[in-house]
Amino acid sequence: MSGKQLADIHSIDNEIFVAGELSPEQLQQASQQGLRSVINLRMPKEKGFLADEPEVVKSLGMEYVHIPVNPSRLSSELVAQIFEQIDQLPKPILMHCSLGLRSAGIALLRTGMKWGITVGEFLQRAEEMGLDFDARPVVKEFFLDYITQHLERRGKVNDKQE
């Protein structure tokens, strides 16, 4: 499943939904299903980037935020910026990128940090969604390290699995 796009919109919790590359028609469906905001994590030069996505989303009555996330430059500061937008935007939110790895990973981090998550639980949830983080080792390492560091600050034991 290496490099395969997240085919559907997946619910992370009752506030965040995630997807890979979206078409204007899928954005319209999201609006019709009651999603109120869109966070686009795609880099502008990525293949399939919708230059008119802000206009499409706003014309559908949804809020729009674009936070370009380079997969090889993920950082705690960038994740904090995305978490802040999630906290501020009307919910439910649809967060997307090209394949779904960045959006799902960051959404799982937010939910996991809120309720507590281990590396094993993170990987299991990603696998259940059909995501292959092994195809993007730098992204996988960032997410696993982020979880480990967060749990260490809370004094919890981790079940780090590679």
pLDDT tens, residue by residue, 66-81? 999 999 999 999 999 9
Cα separation, 136 vs 8, in Å, equals: 20
Identity (one letter) of the amino acid at 28?
Q
pTM reported for the whole predicted model? 0.88
Cα separation, 107 vs 113, in Å, equals: 10
CB contact set of 36 (below 8 Å; sequence gap of 6+): 62, 63, 89, 90, 91, 92, 93
Task: Express as a percent the part of the chain with pLDDT over 90.
Answer: 64
Cα separation, 110 vs 82, in Å, equals: 9
Which residue has 């997946």 as its token pair? 10
- 98: which 2 tokens? 């090209």
DSSP 38-65: EEE---TTSTT--TTHHHHHHHTT-EEE
Residues 141-158: tens digit of each pLDDT:
999 999 988 865 665 555
Identity (one letter) of the amino acid at 44?
P
Residues 22-65: tens digit of each pLDDT:
999 999 999 999 999 999 999 999 998 999 999 999 999 999 99
Q: Does residue 34 come out as left (phi exceeding 0), alpha (psi in the -120 to 50 range) or beta? A: left
pLDDT at 48: 87
Domains detected in the chain: 10-154 (3.90.190.10)
